[in-house]
């Protein structure tokens, strides 16, 4: 008999996308399992760039400090180009992350370390109960269509096979240096599946899940099971990647650099942790397999075939990559030591037109978008996919929200994926193409001024901070007005006149505020952690000096204490009053003029042991040691008017409303569209979340 089991969410694939999802589920006490066909995590190489928004998210899960300590901080980028005399010169320098765009700047570190922070966080939040189940290969996925609309059903069944040690290690090509050149073993499912009858029952398990997340990378098996094909194209541009310690007279080796040579291709330099440097090197001379055709020889794409035959990846070595690099960097010298990892890849841009089936099986990360790695986007966007989806699945599987919210996943993330592919398409062609010399006509090569301008603008996109989700059941843009972007005519923002720097649909940015009870300065978002809760930020204004604002504050306190409060309606009986929707207050009166008991009790609730929550009330005021955050100014909120800002569990702004009864009733209507009235005590909902104290 094959063993059978039930779980709310089954995650297939434990790369960055799967681990982010598992982390969310562990944090919110959601029933989940995560399986991966590989026998071990990765230890070197692959992705390395962590963008500003990703670091903000890591901060909200409590481990950004590890990135800041362990990673290399990338602060400057230099552009190098042919000088027309056979050499190279530095044509420009820029800040690598746009100053002021986030409290964090891009850092770089190998993917294996980043995955280990997730593994630690998953262990911590789940109390040691959850971990990645490795060497588990899914063989079959079935969806019971009759049950897909029943929120309590487990309509997706996945047959898992436990692989032995040899079966779960991909065959590695090349030298004994760790590398990304391995033979994919994506076909194994078919091999096993055809012989399921012969398989030992003990190695099989049939898992019944409410939801399945396919986080299984670019060759996604889950994507194939739901019948979705990627759309897009590949080029014949081939790039090598080498992680090593360079020995060179090139002066900017510890800066991020984009180097275009005249005839030998381009290099991107990424200075890394522990003295390492990653070189992305365009390979003009590569070992080819003449028996095959490139895609452009087959008329399938627009890339320029430089040599006959497809690249024979098994013959790529660090020496092949280094030889190409030396030609590009000439006349500078380049040797290397401490080679840690290398790989080679062919650039392609592909996106999946669907991210889900029946809102029961979802795909995320590389399973739905692939592109070149040089803009440091793949891992970041992959993690942001599941950062977007997993909290929604947590709400639905716990019966806190209706299934309607799941539709927003594809709507929100497909737009981001398409923008990413368009960005990468242009970026890779500008970077891979031969440069035009100064004075040459544009059709003769890449215009390097255009490349710099695109790079600068692209830095905003690449930071991940300007993702703007559309109107939906979770974003109410009618609470603002369309406003043209100050510098980019193609972009329209939605902004309320009550908070002119808070963009509805974008992430809620941080500003420093001071805790009312102990004078501790905080980034406001550090009091809005990713723990599954919605937040209403009550910008109460200068309530001490504006009587109308004082009235509204008292009115809100009274409302929150009443049984008719929508917050109580959506909170399971027996759970903490703030475990689904938390109200945080930021006032604009002088902190020392305000007393703790100026605030109604509802703003400083007690738990069942009588312990007071001192971390819900803040002042926009001077701190003793960290200056003044000027939060009202930063958010564009008038101190004599105030506003409510509603922020989703993933930190995106849902709506901005005026203080008082009218604004609050709109917020109540908004929640009424998807939150479900709670009548029974929670199964696991957030009661495991420790919220006492400000850790």
Q: Does 569 bind ligand FAD (CB under 6 A)?
A: no
413-417: list long-range contacts, CB under 8 Å, 24+ apart.
413/355, 413/364, 413/368, 413/384, 413/385, 413/388, 413/389, 414/351, 414/353, 414/355, 415/470, 416/381, 416/384, 416/385, 416/467, 417/351, 417/352, 417/368, 417/369, 417/381
Active site residue 183: no
Active site residue 521: no
Least separation, in Å, of the C-beta of 391 and ligand FAD?
A: 18
The secondary structure of 63-79 as a DSSP string is -HHHHHHHSEE--EEEE
- Count of C-beta atoms within a 10 Å radius of residue 177: 16
> CB neighbours of 250 closer than 8 A, spacing ≥ 6?
329, 332, 333, 334
Active-site choice (192, 211, 280, 644): 280
Span between the terminal Cα atoms of the chain, in Å: 48
Residue 687's Cβ-side half-sphere holds a number of Cα atoms within 13 Å equal to: 12
| Strand-pair category, 653-657 with 32-36 | unpaired
Q: Does 286 bind ligand FAD (CB under 6 A)?
A: no
Q: Does 137 bind ligand FAD (CB under 6 A)?
A: yes
Among 30, 31, 46, 135, binds ligand FAD (CB under 6 A): 46
Least separation, in Å, of the C-beta of 551 and ligand FAD?
A: 50
- Is residue 622 packed enough to be buried (19+ CB in 10 Å), middle (13-18) or exposed (0-12)? middle
Active site residue 82: no
The answer to whether 637 and 518 are in contact (CB under 8 A) is: no
Angstrom distance (rounded) from CA 70 to CA 274: 9
Residues 202-219 as b/e (b if ≥16 CB within 10 A, e otherwise) read eebbbbbbbbbbbbbbbe
Indicate the residue among 92 and 218 with the shorter CB distance to ligand FAD: 218
Q: Does 642 bind ligand FAD (CB under 6 A)?
A: no
The secondary structure of 421-480 as a DSSP string is HHHHHHHHHHHHSPBPPTTS-GGGSB-HHHHHHHHHHHHHHHTTTT--PPSBTTB-GGGS
Closest CA to 652 of 404, 406, 384: 384
Q: Does 379 bind ligand FAD (CB under 6 A)?
A: yes
Q: Does 421 bind ligand FAD (CB under 6 A)?
A: no
> CB neighbours of 577 closer than 8 A, spacing ≥ 6?
567, 568, 571, 605
Within positions 140 to 179, which residues make up the interface with ligand FAD, using CB under 6 A? none
Among 29, 155, 348, 376, binds ligand FAD (CB under 6 A): 376
Angstrom distance (rounded) from CA 495 to CA 655: 9
Indicate the residue among 46 and 408 with the shorter CB distance to ligand FAD: 46
Q: Does 650 bind ligand FAD (CB under 6 A)?
A: no
Within positions 223 to 252, which residues make up the interface with ligand FAD, using CB under 6 A? 241
Least separation, in Å, of the C-beta of 159 and ligand FAD?
A: 12
Indicate the residue among 463 and 479 with the shorter CB distance to ligand FAD: 463
Find the part of the chain contacting ligand FAD (CB under 6 A) among 30-38, 300-308, 549-557, 654-662.
30-38
Active site residue 272: yes
Among 373, 521, 629, 651, binds ligand FAD (CB under 6 A): 373
Active-site choice (53, 256, 272, 313): 272
Q: Does 621 bind ligand FAD (CB under 6 A)?
A: no
Indicate the residue among 60 and 343 with the shorter CB distance to ligand FAD: 343
Residue 190's Cβ-side half-sphere holds a number of Cα atoms within 13 Å equal to: 4
Active-site choice (16, 138, 373, 572): 373
Angstrom distance (rounded) from CA 496 to CA 493: 10
Q: Does 329 bind ligand FAD (CB under 6 A)?
A: no
Find the part of the chain contacting ligand FAD (CB under 6 A) among 35-43, 281-289, 308-316, 321-329.
35-43
Tokens representing 15 are 């790369």
> CB neighbours of 180 closer than 8 A, spacing ≥ 6?
45, 46, 241, 341, 342, 343, 345
Least separation, in Å, of the C-beta of 61 and ligand FAD?
A: 16
Q: Does 365 bind ligand FAD (CB under 6 A)?
A: yes
The answer to whether 496 and 663 are in contact (CB under 8 A) is: no
Least separation, in Å, of the C-beta of 549 and ligand FAD?
A: 45
531, 415, 373, 291 alpha-carbon torsion, rounded to 10°:
130
Least separation, in Å, of the C-beta of 368 and ligand FAD?
A: 8
Among 378, 532, 649, 682, binds ligand FAD (CB under 6 A): 378
- The residue count for binding ligand FAD (CB under 6 A) is 36
Angstrom distance (rounded) from CA 524 to CA 504: 17
Least separation, in Å, of the C-beta of 316 and ligand FAD?
A: 12
Indicate the residue among 382 and 589 with the shorter CB distance to ligand FAD: 382
Indicate the residue among 382 and 516 with the shorter CB distance to ligand FAD: 382
Find the part of the chain contacting ligand FAD (CB under 6 A) among 59-67, 211-219, 332-340, 433-441.
211-219
Q: Does 366 bind ligand FAD (CB under 6 A)?
A: yes
Among 380, 408, 428, 432, binds ligand FAD (CB under 6 A): 380
- Catalytic residue numbers? 48, 272, 280, 373
Give me the residues that bind ligand FAD (CB under 6 A), please.
12-18, 35-38, 46-49, 111, 137-138, 180, 215-217, 221, 241, 343, 345, 365-367, 373, 376-380, 382
């Amino acid at each position: 008999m094959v063993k059978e089991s039930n779980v709310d969410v089954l995650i297939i694939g434990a790369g960055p996308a799967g681990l982010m999802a598992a982390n969310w589920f562990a944090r919110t006490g959601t029933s989940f399992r995560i399986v991966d066909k590989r026998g071990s995590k990765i230890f070197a190489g692959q992705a390395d760039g962590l963008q500003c928004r990703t670091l903000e998210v890591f901060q909200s899960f409590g481990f950004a400090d590890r990135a800041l300590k362990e990673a290399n901080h990338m602060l400057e980028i230099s552009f190098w180009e042919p000088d027309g005399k056979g050499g190279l010169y530095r044509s420009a320098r820029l800040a690598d992350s746009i100053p002021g765009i986030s409290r964090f700047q891009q850092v770089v570190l190998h993917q294996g370390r980043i995955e280990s922070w997730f593994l630690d966080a998953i262990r911590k939040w789940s109390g040691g109960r959850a971990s990645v189940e490795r060497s588990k290969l899914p063989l079959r996925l079935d969806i019971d269509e009759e049950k897909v609309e029943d929120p309590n059903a487990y309509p997706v069944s996945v047959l898992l096979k436990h692989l032995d040690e040899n079966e779960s290690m991909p065959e590695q090509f090349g030298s004994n240096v760790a590398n990304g050149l391995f033979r994919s073993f994506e076909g194994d499912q078919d091999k096993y599946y055809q012989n399921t009858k012969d398989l030992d029952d003990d190695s099989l398990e049939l898992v019944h899940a409410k939801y399945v997340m396919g986080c299984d990378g670019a060759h996604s098996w889950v994507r194939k099971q739901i019948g979705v094909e990627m759309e897009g194209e590949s080029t014949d541009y081939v790039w090598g990647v080498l992680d090593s310690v360079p020995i060179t007279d090139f002066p900017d080796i510890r800066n991020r650099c984009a180097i275009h040579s005249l005839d030998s291709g381009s290099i991107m330099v990424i200075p890394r942790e522990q003295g390492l440097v990653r070189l992305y090197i365009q390979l003009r001379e590569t070992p080819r397999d003449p028996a095959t055709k490139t895609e452009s020889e087959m008329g399938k794409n627009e890339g320029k075939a430089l040599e006959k035959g497809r690249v024979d990846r098994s013959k790529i070595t660090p020496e092949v990559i280094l030889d190409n690099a030396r030609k590009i960097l000439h006349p500078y010298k380049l040797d290397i030591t401490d080679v840690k990892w290398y790989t080679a890849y062919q650039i392609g841009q592909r996106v999946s037109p669907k991210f889900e089936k029946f809102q029961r099986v979802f795909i995320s990360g590389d399973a739905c978008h692939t592109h070149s790695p040089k803009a440091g986007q793949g891992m970041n966007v992959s993690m942001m996919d599941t950062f977007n989806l997993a909290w929604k699945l947590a709400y639905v599987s716990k019966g806190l929200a209706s299934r309607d919210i799941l539709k927003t996943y594809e709507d929100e993330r497909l737009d981001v994926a398409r923008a990413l592919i368009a960005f990468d398409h242009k970026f890779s062609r500008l970077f891979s193409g031969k440069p035009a010399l100064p004075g040459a006509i544009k059709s003769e090569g890449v215009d390097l001024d255009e490349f710099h301008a695109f790079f600068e603008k692209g830095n905003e996109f690449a930071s991940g901070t300007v993702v703007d989700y559309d109107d939906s059941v979770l974003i109410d843009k009618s609470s603002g007005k369309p406003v043209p972007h100050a510098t980019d005519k193609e972009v329209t923002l939605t902004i309320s006149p009550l908070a002119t720097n808070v963009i509805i649909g974008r992430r809620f940015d941080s500003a420093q505020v001071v805790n009312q009870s102990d004078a501790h300065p905080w980034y406001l978002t550090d009091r809005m952690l990713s723990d599954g809760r919605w937040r209403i930020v009550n910008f109460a204004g200068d309530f001490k000096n504006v009587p109308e604002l004082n009235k509204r504050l008292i009115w809100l306190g009274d409302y929150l204490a009443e049984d008719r409060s929508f917050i109580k309606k959506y909170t399971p009986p027996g759970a903490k009053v703030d475990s689904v929707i938390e109200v945080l207050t930021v006032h604009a009166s002088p902190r020392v003029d305000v007393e703790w008991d100026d605030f109604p009790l509802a703003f400083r609730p007690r738990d069942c042991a009588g312990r007071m929550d001192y971390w819900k009330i803040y002042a926009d005021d001077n701190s003793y040691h960290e200056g003044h955050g000027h939060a009202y100014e930063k958010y564009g909120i008038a101190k004599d008017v105030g506003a409510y800002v509603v922020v989703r569990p993933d930190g995106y702004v849902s709506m901005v409303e005026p203080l008082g009864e009218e604004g609050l009733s709109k917020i109540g209507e908004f929640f009424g569209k998807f939150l479900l009235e709670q009548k029974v005590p929670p199964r696991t909902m957030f009661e495991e979340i420790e919220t006492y104290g400000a850790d």
